[in-house]
Structures are given as C-alpha cells and as structure tokens.
Amino acid sequence: VRGTLDVQVEEQDGSISTFQVNTANIPYLTRPGYVRYNVAVGAPSRYNHKIQGPGFASGDFSWGITNAWSLYGGLQSAGAEYTAVSAGIGRDLSVLGALSLDATESYSQQSNQKRLKGTSFKLSYAKTFDEYNSSITFAGYRFSQEDFRSFSQYLNERYEGYDSLGREKEVYTITGNKTFWADEPGKATTVFLTYTHQNYWNRSSQDRYGISLG
C-alpha cells in the first residue's frame, strides 16, 4: 500500500479518533520511450462503506525520457468543487537508488466559502540492497501550504464540519523492509518498518511507528 491512508479508530468507550498515515512512495520511473498510465473513476465512501461525496475521476502517467530520467504527472477532479494537478520528475541514480521530486496543486471550495488554492512539494528516494534482501524507501520531505487540501481532507471538512484529519505542514517518512529465509520457498518472511513525523498547521506534531509482516 502506498500514499496517504485515512485511519479511524473507535475506542471501547465509543469515542472515535481519526488521523492520516503517510506511506513512502517509490519514485515513478519508466523505461525510455514508454508511457505508463492509470485511470480511475469512482465515488468516495465512509468507513462503513456508505457512499458520501461527489463522484471523481483520477489519472496519472509516467513517460521515460532516457534510461535515467522520467517525467510524470496526474490529475484528480470532482468537478468545480475539487481539483488537484501534479507534475514531477524521476531520476535513476543506478547503484545509488532512485530519486524523484514532484509538486501537487489543489483547488477546493466548500459551500459559501472562498476558493482555496495550495501547493504541496515532495521529495522521494528509494534504494534496494539485494545482497541483504532489504530495501529502504525514504519520502524524505514533504511541505504543504496551509490552503492545500488532499481529496480526503476536502471531504472531511465538507461532511464532518471540521478538519479532524489535521492540515499537514511537513511530513518526514522512512520505510524499510528486510526479507528473511529468502532462498527457502514457503518460509520467506518480510518485516516492514515505518516511521513518520508530521507537523500540522492547526494541531501539535505527531510521531508514528509501524511494523508488519508479509
């Protein structure tokens, strides 16, 4: 799973807390002369799977310029209410890994409120250590302007009436994994570790740790 995950936790006393977890994105690289793309349409749903919100369409592409460079971009739109456009560049650093830099600009408007425009910048790095059956993905830094909104943040403000997810300002994420018994079929096990530090415009900072097996 990659990208930003919306997490909702219901406590034993019935109280509910919500937050977002950022997973690292491997730089989007494509072979020279090729174009990769994804297109999707749908409607957002709540944690109980009930549809809530306008229908949307999204798409992204990556174009391999040379063996070392790729351009990529994307679009997500729910009509006049919300649109986000992204563009970036990826660089294959050979034995040193891969690096990418991108920017996403969002345009959003709630009922009877002014139209917001904000930009988010992100730097991503990935490196695989084959000799150790390990890899590290480092979404080194992401900075978002105060008026930037992800689609999830926009929907949360619109239907919950407040920004319970928080408006992210800076995010540092590092994710690594290690595979054990890789040469033994049926026994191979991968351990994933994740650390995220998040600063917000409207709440105190948070640190989150994660571990999983696969």
Q: pTM, whole model, 2 decimals?
A: 0.79
How do residues 31-79 score in pLDDT, each as one tens digit? 999 999 999 999 988 777 788 888 999 999 999 999 999 999 999 999 9
What is the pLDDT at residue 167?
Answer: 85
Q: How far is CA 45 from the centre of its chain?
A: 18
> Taking the CA of residue 10 as centre, how many other CA atoms within 13 Å lie in the half-sphere pointing to its CB?
3
Domain ranges of the chain: 4-213
CA distance 170 to 111: 28
Query: CB–CB of 167/119 below 8 Å?
Result: no
Token output for 120: 């988010």
How do residues 102-135 score in pLDDT, each as one tens digit? 999 999 998 888 999 999 999 998 887 877 777 7
For residues 144-182, one letter each, b for 16 or more C-beta atoms within 10 angstroms of the residue's C-beta and e for the rest, the string is: bbebbbbbebbbbbbeeeebebbbbbebbbbbbbbeeee
Query: CB–CB of 43/54 below 8 Å?
Result: yes
Least confident interval from 46-55, 98-107, 147-156, 200-209? 46-55
What is the pLDDT at residue 9?
Answer: 59
Strand order in the sheet with 168-180: 35-42, 56-64, 69-77, 82-92, 98-108, 116-129, 134-144, 168-180, 189-200, 206-213
For residue 117, give the H/E element and its range.
Answer: strand 116-129
Query: CB–CB of 56/151 below 8 Å?
Result: yes
Terminal CA-CA length for the chain: 12
